[in-house]
Amino acid sequence: MFSSRLPPQTETNELTRVLAGLRAAGTAIVDLTESNPTRAGIPYPEGLLTSLGQPGALEYEPHPLGLPSARAAVAADHRRRGVDVDPAQIALTASTSEAYSWLFKLLCNPGECVLVPRPSYPLFEHLTRLEGIRAEPYDLEYHGRWEIDAGQLRTAPGDVKAILVVSPNNPTGSYISAVELEQLSGVCRDRGWALVADEVFADYPLDESQPLTDIATKSGVLSFTLAGLSKSVGLPQVKLGWIVAGGPPAQRDAALAALELIADSFLSVGTPVQLALPELLRQGAGIRTAIQVRTRDNLQALRDAVRQFPACDVLRVDGGWAAVIRVPATRGEERLVLDLLEREHVLVHPGYFFDFRSEAFIVVSLLPDAAVFRDAIARVLRFADC
């Protein structure tokens, strides 16, 4: 009855069943997969959302790529990172996920292909399938830091239209380096691919280094950087994201004109949030700092804790809201994660959820409350180490 864009019906997996059973029995679970900042005890300023109720929001004057004032606010926000973007290069969307869907409509015919990193964010399979296109993986390899081997891209299928990078990647926390960007730009130029850079976590470096960001403004080929309020100011429920288009001006402007047509067919971004955007971005700085303090403190606590457990180790992570722990592969990821849940009442993600090529890895969110995180991590490491 329904289209093949939907994934085949799959059985609920055992982890979901066990979790539902424990919750139904009233068992308190510590959720180290929590990536929703509104559920992590992050302080939000009082009155933060009052700007959503401005009288001007009663008028509807749609602009497909976004109100000029809102696009200018996004451009002004880029100056925090020393980046100059013309508001004309910006398209507003309701979320980063929607930005992906618009870019897939822009770049791919049905059945064509985009390259997606592996391991990475598991939503790509759905987002591509729902657009009637294919996601083909390329591998990130870990040699003390996660790297793209640009050589593997030479064998990519002939119908690839774009390569997606996530920087910093979720969950590996690796930013694209300047060398990798140069290599990727070269491949894109040779093969006629666009570069799509998901930089939703770019504002969350986990140390004082200044990683490469704002890839669309630096790549030299047709490129798009995606980001939004969901991560940059911890407001996923407010629903506003953006695409910054970059590259050779003629190609970039043609892409923006086509995006305008796509956006005009949906007009999905609400007027209240666009009018509120300058104020949300202004007040968002404090929320961002609170999240940054939390993730850095939790990472430090994790690194300190893991020293007591020589069989486990925390992989290098440079940014984002997650950390990857390598654990002994004695019982397999799936069994380990189930046992942790059933016996220790701690929920973590197994590496296979993000398509890690080998076992055994577990992924933890760095967002939870610091005391809760520290206690749960000690239990996880004790359990995984024996």
Is position 246 an interface residue for ligand PLP (rule: CB under 6 A)?
Answer: no
| From 14-22, 90-98, 127-135, 359-367, span contacting ligand PLP (CB under 6 A) | 90-98
Are the C-beta atoms of 146 and 174 separated by less than 8 Å?
yes
DSSP bridge pairs for 97: none
- The contact mask relative to ligand PLP for 14-43 (x = CB under 6 A, - = no) is ---------------------x--------
Instruction: With CA atoms as reference, report the closest residue to 150 among 186, 123, 116, 124.
Output: 186
Q: Out of 219, 230, 271, 365, which residue is the one contacting ligand PLP (CB under 6 A)?
A: 230
Report the nearest approach of ligand PLP to the CB of residue 367 (Å).
Answer: 11
d(CA 317, CA 328): 19
Size of the site for ligand PLP (CB under 6 A): 13
241 forms part of the interface with ligand PLP (CB under 6 A): yes
Cross-strand bridge partners of residue 326: 313, 361
Interface with ligand PLP includes 66 (CB under 6 A)? Answer: no
Say whether 29 sits in a helix, a strand or coil: coil
- Contact status: 95 vs ligand PLP (CB under 6 A): yes
Q: Which tokens hold the place of 209?
A: 């280094």
- Among residues 121 and 146, whose Cβ is nearest to ligand PLP? 121
Give the whole-angstrom CA distance, residue 231 versus residue 37.
8
Per-residue binder mask for ligand PLP (CB under 6 A), 281-320, x = binder: ----------------------------------------
Contact 248, 256 (CB under 8 A): no
Closest CA to 227 of 293, 158, 170, 147: 170
Residue 215 interacting with ligand PLP (CB under 6 A): no
Tell me if 234 contacts ligand PLP by CB under 6 A.
no
Would you state the structure tokens that stand for residue 270, as one six-digit string? 């609400």
CB atoms within 10 A of CB 234: 23
Is there binding between residue 200 and ligand PLP (CB under 6 A)? yes
- Residue 96 within binding range of ligand PLP, rule CB under 6 A: yes
Asked if 121 touches ligand PLP (CB under 6 A), the answer is yes
Stretch of 18-26, 139-147, 228-236, 265-273 contacting ligand PLP, by CB under 6 A: 228-236
- Provide the edge-to-edge strand list for the sheet that holds 313-314: 313-314, 322-326, 361-365, 349-350
167 sits near ligand PLP (criterion: CB under 6 A):
no
Q: Report yes or no: 170 and 146 within 8 Å, Cβ to Cβ.
A: no
Span from 94-102, 156-164, 274-282, 359-367 in contact with ligand PLP (CB under 6 A): 94-102
- Distances from the Cα of 104 to the Cα of 99, 101, 165, 258, angstroms: 9, 5, 14, 12
Q: Which residues bind ligand PLP (CB under 6 A)?
A: 35, 95-97, 121, 166, 170, 198, 200, 228, 230, 236, 241
